[in-house]
Amino acid sequence: MSETKTETSLKGVKNLAALTGNEAVAQALRQINPDVIAAYPITPATEIVQIFSTYVSDGLVNTEFVAVESEHSAMSATIGASAAGARAMTATSSQGLALMWEMLYIASGLRRPIVMPVVNRALSSPINIHCDHSDTMGARDAGWLHIFSEDAQEAYDNTIQAIRISEHPDIQLPTMVTMDGFIISHGMEVVKMLDDDVVRDFVGTYKPDTYLLDVDKPVTMGGLDFTDFYFEHRRQLAEPMEAAPGVVKQIGEEYGKLTGRKFGLYEGYMLDDADYVMVLLGSTAGTAKTIIPELRAKGIKAGLLKLRMFRPFPYDEVAGLLAGRKAVAVMDRSDGLAGLGGPLFGEIRSALYEAKQRPPLADYVYGLGGRDCGPAQLMQVFEDMQKMAVTGAAANRVNYLGVRE
Amino acid sequence: MASLKELSKKPALFTGGHRACTGCSAPIVARMLFMAADTPLVVGSATGCLEVTTTLFPYTSWDTPFLHSAFENSAASISGVEAAYRSLKKQGKYDKDVRFVAFGGDGGTYDIGLQSLSGAMERGHRMLYICYNNEAYMNTGIQRSSATMFGADTTTTPVGREGRGKKQFEKDLTAILVAHGVPYVAQGSPSYWNDLITKMQKALNTDGPSFINVLAPCRLGWAFPPEDTIEMGRLAANTCAWPLYEVVDGQYKITYKPREKQPVSEYLKKQTKYRHMFRPGNEAMIEAYQAHVDEKWERLLKLAGEPVPDKA
Amino acid sequence: MSKMIEIRWHGRGGQGAKTAALLFADACLGAGMYIQAFPEYGPERTGAPVASYNRISGEPITIHSAVESPSVVVILDPTLIGAVDVMKGLPQDGVVLVNTNETTEEMGKKLGLNGQKLFVLDASTISKETIGRDIPNTPMLGALVGATGMVDFDSMIEDTEAKLKKKFRNKPEVIAGNVQAIRQAYETVKAQHA
């Protein structure tokens, strides 16, 4: 336990802070300084708006904070504020997101560039406050961009970038930025923050073309479509989703130049030459990064594909990255109850449909309701992958990891 | 007090060509709103008759900024618009003087939107909420609401071999809003244009939340000839089934008192939804209805500090 | 320090096990180390057994699963011994610190040591004398540094003071007491090094 300085020492690094995920996101919100935040508390996302309220109380932000009476009203008021011409945000989790569900579709249908941090938490019943991804997976077809974060740093970085992504003229869609409940939201880690003015300049000022407060150019938002227009309007929603990967990459590059932390649609860890690839979302990717070097040391070519974007789903990239591998394991932190594994599994299988060399593929539903997923469980999955490579197929297409049967 | 001559000069920012039923009272209320306003308005509406008949893409009846998002959240949506206005003004990013109005039918206000309305009013947003109360879910085909009056024949309280219409009396939403401490609360009717426009003006000039519950006779759901809309509102007021009053900072004031209170049967018999109550054997229903109206009227008189007439 | 150290804090709700982990992480970050601090969450309220954790390393920490075999265990409340498996996962070369007025020998027997190094101190009395209340978490912070030498004591106390100043900006009198408590605990434990 001697104090040895390594190359990675943080001594003297600027703007370092020991922050929980919630604190980091609250700081990002302070630096973004939105015009309106309307929110309702829910464990484990409560702290985000609670901390933000102290910024409002201390006069550190210009934001009107609307302490609404429910998440449904939170999203409704956020949509209203955004439609009025303001940069408007909210934050939630789990049941709160479920209560917003109706409004999520309306936010995207009205092309509101709302950014919403979501702390991933299991859905009732049974009631459970801990992490899994069931909540945001339920909103996967709501027309929102959906960005997963591995740690507090990424939650901070993604929240800032999401403003630019959502407000991009080619996108104009809402974005949810997620982090894992408690594991990240309440876990303190090192976060490299940006200076306030750097964030302010990066996100810029929100300048909508059409907005309700532009009373000289009155506009009706949210009108009724019959069979003659609804389809066309919904078809138009698919276009920004097609444009989104390019925009996400472009803004991720720009952010990388600013911070040294470049972002794309995914992160590969020891992926290039990997035979056995684990596909993950969120904080467990970090745990996988601790065992992959151990496997490599034993001569097992293990690798990780961590997806950052879940919506739009990077089908082509995923297909390119996974085709030809000896085995692939998909890790689902929610159960699709679709009859064939979780939502990520469905997407990965779909992505690989046209691949010439489809790898043996298995799904692992893990970590529901905050069930710990540690190195031993992930090791087991890599062992399974090695068997799959030999037999050419998974023993079970869908596996439940770390559950008492 | 508005003068008709002056009102006629105001631009009609709620325009014709909408798809409301003939004789519908909701568009009348919307037109009156713009007569009452001296500033630009941003208007929102809950899903319902008013919204679906006035915003059919690519047309709109609203020559003013208009927002619809969902059914139960008209108040929350407009509270967000108002918060944006306050934020942008505070930051010096916006300099116009604008008022905010949310519409909802009785479904969107009394029932599914009550929580959202309560929240917005309690938070004190400077916004006017207008409930156009046609006493049932008319947009979906005349289902009962908590505003539906006793005995009414609706599609979910149908009169049948056993059923005699709605079993419950209506909820007193206006009192609920008064209990919120909302500084300006009123009941109005399109049949009394001067009374209603004056109330709308007072509401829009209130530095805080305001609420007007407007009776909106529905020729379809109540089943009366379309040309009788205004007459129905008059009967409602003259029988005291729908009294007109305002509550300013908690002080009640009756703004219209019938010269002679008419029996409620005069009002009921014009509406097919109460037809069964006039059948032999159902007399008690009309009596119960009358007793309910009398009790409410007396309570209102007391609240307004008016003399309560001796019971006959 | 490139090897990662894992620490488990045991306390009862209200004793500040979570805060201690957060403060310690912050102090370690001040010393240029990578850190994690996270509590174990449940429905527990004041008085119920709670745990919190630290990971400290000279390298970036990416692991996001539970701490299963900590190298250090800090026990804020000795009444937990027997009720909670406080020694769970602690290897033979591990370190255990206990807030107790018992001797090392007595406590060692109670814990059923199996080679682990034990430090004892009466942090409750220290905190009562210095802070005026029985909140053993800050003195145990000093004890942890005294026992492990993971961070430079002076920089740690400087950092903690700054953090406390932020937290107790309306109660400056609390800060001096806390700093004194940390120092006293540090000295007590330092003297126990064989």
Superfamily, domain B4-303: Thiamin diphosphate (ThDP)-binding fold, Pyr/PP domains (3.40.50.970)
Q: Do chains B and A touch (3 or more CB pairs under 8 A)?
A: yes
CA nearest A9 in C: which residue?
C32
Of residues C31 and A48, which shows the higher confidence score?
Answer: A48
CA distances in angstroms from B167 to B107, B155, B157, B160, B222, listed in the order given? 18, 14, 8, 13, 17
The total number of structural domains that make up chain A: 2
A-contacting chains (≥3 CB pairs under 8 Å): B, C
How far is Cα C76 from Cα C144, in angstroms, rounded to an integer? 11
Out of B64, B79, B115, closest to residue A66 by CB? B79
What does the angle CA C132 – CA C136 – CA C137 come to, to the nearest 5 degrees? 120
Q: For residue C41, what pLDDT is reported?
A: 76
A72 with B90: Cβ contact below 8 A: no
What secondary structure letter does DSSP report for B149? P
Whether the pLDDT of residue C2 is over 60: the answer is no
Same domain, A292 and A392: yes
Max distance between CA atoms of chain C, in angstroms, equals: 46
The mean pLDDT of B297-306, rounded to a whole number, is: 98
Same domain assignment for residues A292 and A330: yes
Buried b (16+ CB within 10 A) or exposed e, A114-131: bbbbbbbbbbeeeebbbb
> How much is the pLDDT for B55?
97
* pLDDT of A40 strictly over 70: yes
For residue B64, give the H/E element and its range: none
Neighbours of C28 (CB within 10 A): 29
Q: Nearest CA to A148 among A323, A256, A279? A: A279
* Mean pLDDT across C133-139: 89
Count of CB pairs separated by less than 8 Å, A with C: 102
Residue C39: give its domain's CATH number: 3.40.920.10
Domain count for chain C: 1
CB B147 within 8 A of CB B170: yes
Q: Dmax over Cα atoms in chain B, in whole Å?
A: 69
- Sorted by sequence, the CB contacts under 8 Å of residue B133 that are 6+ apart come out as B105, B106, B109, B110, B147, B173, B213, B214, B215, B216
pLDDT band at residue C30 using 50, 70 and 90 as cut-offs: confident
Instruction: Tell me the torsion sign for CA atoms C152, C158, C160, C163.
Output: negative
Domain around A355: 266-401
- Scan residues 34-73 of C and list those with Cβ closer than 8 Å to A: 34-39, 41, 58-66, 68
Average pLDDT, chain A: 96
Q: What is the pLDDT of residues A129-138, one digit of tens each?
A: 999 999 999 9
Query: What are the structure tokens assigned to B51, written together?
Result: 């919204």
- Does residue C174 register a pLDDT over 90? no
Residue B94 makes CB contacts below 8 A (sequence gap 6+) with: A85, A213, B85, B88
Picking from C3, C32, C66, the nearest residue to A10 by CB comes out as: C32
Looking only at the bridges linking them, the beta strands covering B184-188 and B244-248 are antiparallel
The verdict on A251 and A114 lying in the same domain is yes
- Whether residues A253 and A296 share a domain: the answer is no
Average pLDDT over residues A337-362: 97
Token duo for residue B164: 């005699």
Provide the domain limits for residue C73.
Answer: 5-190
Name every chain C residue with its beta carbon within 8 A of the beta carbon of A285: 62
With CB atoms and an 8 Å threshold, state whether A373 touches C25.
no
> What is the model's pLDDT at position B309?
86
pLDDT at C169: 81
- Give the integer Cα–Cα distance in Å for A116 and A25: 10
Which positions in chain A have a beta carbon within 8 angstroms of at least one beta carbon in chain B?
Answer: 35-36, 38, 62-64, 66-70, 72-73, 76-86, 88, 102-103, 106, 110, 212-215, 218-226, 229, 233
Is the N-terminal amide bond of A125 cis, ω within 30° of 0?
yes
Strand, coil or helix: A371? coil
Whether C149 contacts chain A with CB within 8 A: yes
Q: What is the reported pLDDT for A3?
A: 36
* Residues in CB range of B182: below 8 A, 6 or more apart: B121, B208, B209, B210, B211
Residue appearing with tokens 């969902």:
B70
Strands (E) in A197-280, as ranges, are 220-221, 266-269, 276-280
Please state, rounded to an integer, the average pLDDT across all residues of chain B.
Answer: 96
A262-277, pLDDT tens digit by residue? 999 999 999 999 999 9
C-beta separation of A306 from C62 below 8 A? no
* Model pLDDT, residue C158: 86
Same domain, A138 and A252: yes
Asked if residue A181 and residue A33 are part of one domain, the reply reads yes
Instruction: Kindly state whether residue A289 falls inside one of the protein's structural domains.
Output: yes
Residue B8 is predicted with a pLDDT of 87
Would you say residue A271 lies in a domain?
yes
Residue of C nearest to A378 (CA): C65
Q: Give the pair of three-digit tokens for residue A368.
A: 């529901």
Of the two residues C138 and A379, the one the predictor is more confident about is: A379
Q: What's the pLDDT at B93?
A: 97
On the question of pLDDT at B239 being above 60, the answer is yes
- Over residues B93-146, the pLDDT tens digits come to 999 999 999 999 999 999 999 999 999 999 999 999 999 999 999 999 999 999
Looking at the fold, whether A131 and A113 belong to one and the same domain comes out as yes
Residues A247 and A314 in one domain: no
For residues B75 and B69, the answer to whether their CB atoms sit within 8 Å is no
A151 within some domain = yes
Residue A385 belongs to some domain of the structure: yes
Pair (A235, A276) in one structural domain: no
3-state secondary structure of B208: coil
CATH of the domain at A276: 3.40.50.920
Residue A162, number of CB atoms within 10 A of its CB: 27
* pLDDT at position A4: 36
Q: Is the pLDDT of residue B86 over 80?
A: yes
Residue type for A215, please? V
pLDDT at C160 > cutoff 90: no
Residue C128, classified by CB atoms within 10 Å of its CB into exposed (0-12), middle (13-18) or buried (19+), is middle
Please name which of C41, C48, C51, C56 lies closest in space to residue C20, comparing C-alpha atoms.
C51
The span from the CA of B269 to the CA of A116, in Å, is 54
CA distances (Å), origin C104, targets C73, C91, C101, C119: 15, 19, 9, 7
Closest in C5, C66, C152 to A1, CB measured: C5
Buried b (16+ CB within 10 A) or exposed e, A177-203: bbbbbbbbbbbbbbbbbbeeeebeebb
How many Cα atoms sit within 13 Å of A75 on the Cβ side?
A: 28
3-state helix/strand/coil string of A276-319: EEEEECCCHHHHHHHHHHHHHHCCCCEEEEEECEEECCCHHHHH
Residue B64 at interface with chain A, using a CB cutoff of 8 Å: yes
Task: Look at residue C172 in the predicted model and tell me its pLDDT.
Answer: 81
The confidence band for C162, taking pLDDT boundaries of 50, 70 and 90, is confident
In this prediction, residues B212-220 reach a mean pLDDT of 97
CA distance C149 to A396: 49
Chain C residues close to A182, C-beta within 8 Å: 38, 41
pLDDT of A2 strictly over 60? no
The two three-digit tokens of residue B308, written as one number? 């309560």
Which DSSP string do the residues of A54-68 spell out, in sequence order?
HHHHTT---PEEEE-
